[in-house]
Chains A and B, each alone.
Chain A
Amino acid sequence: MKHIPTILALLLFLQTGATTIIAGPGRPVSTLRKAIELARDNDSIRLQAGIYKEGSLTISRSITLIGDNNPVLDGESKYEILLVSGKNIRIIGITFRNSGYSAMNDFASIKLVDCSNIILERNTVWHAYFAIHVSNSIQVTIRGNKITGIPASEQLTGNGIHLWKSSGALIEQNRVEGHRDGIYFEFVTGSVIRGNHSEKNIRYGLHFMFSNDDKYTNNTFRNNGAGVAVMYSKKVWMEQNHFEENWGASAYGILLKDITDSHILKNSFYKNTVGIHMEGSSRIEIDQNQFRNNGWAIKVQASCDDNIFHHNNFTSNSFDVGTNGTMVLNQFENNYWDKYEGYDMNKDGIGDIPYHPVSMYSVIIEQNPTTLMLFRSFMVSLLDKAEKAIPSLTPENLIDNKPMMKKHNL
């Protein structure tokens, strides 16, 4: 009982121990550098509006840095603006612009190294090489940031949100455009990417490499150089994303390369050259997706096996499925295909004859791309009809035995 006053006093001390430093032009603490020097663990810095050109700054204590009325940190195209290395740090509402470029190091506007429990929220990054660069960190939350690269500098642009060897990250509600890859994961596990918007990036909207047990949901990837690439990873969960308008000779909604044990569901693929391109991938379940107005809805290379496609809608695609081999180790079931011309005598909603999603012409194109010139010509449709009646070139096992008569309500 007699300890209570001591505890209370301690609590009071802790309370008053955390101070708030107000920094800004005309204040006693006029620079951010000074404010960071003064701040102790658990302190806050409120940075007032203004333009700060202070070179490279480092935060290593557990502080909260909040921008009032949008202060701007300018890297003058020379410096890496903010280096963060520590735990329990929050950075909120600050604009970073013109960070520098280096050929050897990945210069970033905000760089997190060996961190844990960090929150980056509602910041704006403009004209950076790498915008947010995270390595060797755990429990990093990157939420509601707006990142804009200037693509005029083409190949000299880095990634928007770049994570390397990290775990437990949450990337949420960010907007990234004009970078090399919008969001980049390499050796990142147990992380979530949710509700982001990645657009007009030079290469990929999202790029996954060697990153297992991750989940990305409700994101929009639009008009990126080559779409989204998910490579060399296991157990990736992809749900309710939008893959739109990725046009180009080698652009894909998603490029899946060496992916196993993953689940792709309820996504929408609209106006891509290829909706999903799969190579060396196995045990992926692909269901309840919508494929609309794509060149190819799906391209499955012969190196894929044990994948199952069910309850998807395929509408207005030039080709439904393309493949480069005759061996078929993947399964199609209960999909709706708008090109299906069968009938349903017993009225159970399932077509009575199987559907062949690979047309003869798509087999020919796979072997000889220049024949695309004859697309929609009379001869080609004639050949396709003949092939349908007597299959000879198309893989005969690649069929949907239970094609739906009506579109799934997705």
Chain B
Amino acid sequence: MMSNLTGAERGTAMIITGAGVLVGLAMAAVGHGDPMGTHGWIVLAFSALLFFFVGDKVYDPEPAEDRAASYYDDPTKVGIVIALAWAVVGMGMGVWVASQLAWPDLRFDAAWSSFGRIRPVHTSGVIFGFGGNALIATSFHIMQRTSRARMPDQVTPWFVLLGFNLFCIVAASGYLMGVTQSKEYAEPEWYADLWLVVVWVAYFVLYIRTLARRNEPHIYVANWYYLAFILVVAVLHIVNNLAVPASLTGAKSYSAFAGVQDAMTQWWYGHNAVAFFLTSGFLGMLYYFLPKRAKRPIYSYRLSILSFWGIVFFYIWAGSHHLHYTALPHWVQTLGMTFSVMLLVPSWASAGNALMTLNGAWHKVRDDATLRFMMVAAVFYGLSTFEGSFMAIRPVNGLSHYTDWTVGHVHAGAMGWVALISFGSIYALAPVLWRRETMYSWKAVEWHFWLALAGTVIYVFAMWNSGITQGLMWRTYTESGTLAYSFTDTLVAMHPYYIARAFGGLLFLIGACIGAWNVAMTIRRMPSETPELDYPTSSESREPAVPAAE
């Protein structure tokens, strides 16, 4: 794979990984005795491994292939495989964490295995590890196909993909050591945050450079969704992680914000992470792979534009609905609530658009589990955005907040929407990417689909029941005006739901393992096939990127 790099590119890669080794060594030296030191060793090992991986091929002959004749798919392939590995790890951690709630002895009494440490490994593992890698990999695929142009160079995509994974590894290992900023979905400490900024800027520049080389005048809507994902996540990440390190030789830092401003900044980040990490990029997947798989153009291109800008304009205000009944000014809460309800318009425009695209091709949905993944994902997207708008209404939030209902809502979105659209896209993508006729086992795709759907439904119903029970118990008063139930009473009432939740998660995990196995077998066992299509537009026929008149 590294033999496809030119000599100059191999040199650049070795300089970058060599610099990584030095940075890791420096972190290990100055951070000795602090978790930062351990992170230094991790950075060093990661960079050294890649250094030798490239170095091993440095004297190979220059690649002879004609770059203009094919897309650059090596990083996409690796990204898909890494995403599936993170899916198994992240969801496995989820099952463990859920089981700890049902059977607390599963903590095993170690510091690193306590709930507060492995829960962020689960959330970051699935959101950033699985979701992030799936987004980066599919974006590499889609940006090239919709532009009909190859990526401008072969080092940047590797830098983005592997740099992002270094961030994920530093984050996850930090949680186990107790390193955290205590900000939801933004737990990693300052040096990991700084590194992610570098990677993310490289990602944005790579995307723009590819678009600048395009042979297709119109920038297809999926690209807009991916670009919003990259750009807005950069802004959110930088602002929310503004912090002053307690010392340059340790992991601890203090937020630049205080009190309710800190909370507001965090949830402005947190909710827009849901919008732009967990929605926008995955809508990009939906708008590309669903029409592609169904072999039908999207029902309404106009609606896709409307919902894109709707998401951009409305989501920005919605974060304050996480802070109802707090010290946050009442009008800011009301504003967040109003915009959250308005969000129904762009959300349902996308969900409806996806379903209307399939209208008239339901026989394909019936026969093709891959398309069914995408269809059910669109349904769950519609359901969870409706639920989200509903829960953002202040009195509803009074019942739902701090209960398992919130957890159920998040998982309806994360499992039902984000994971299903990702798996559907991976099944659509893998044969194209590895030049195989089809997936290794369509039966395995069916099994995965039904396990994932059953797991999600069990999970979400368990959490609805548990959350509403919990919320009602917390607000039940006796005749003398005291609370009727102690907190422990509510825990006892939750127990059966916690078992059901762990079981639902287990089904989902088994499905993901089957998916990873199926992709691996597709790569190893399926005969290869050279497709007629799927090559960039040749440079001779290159039209100007923006014609004078369309």
Bind each other: no
Q: Which A residues are closer than 8 A to B by beta carbons?
A: none
Q: Which B residues are closer than 8 A to A by beta carbons?
A: none
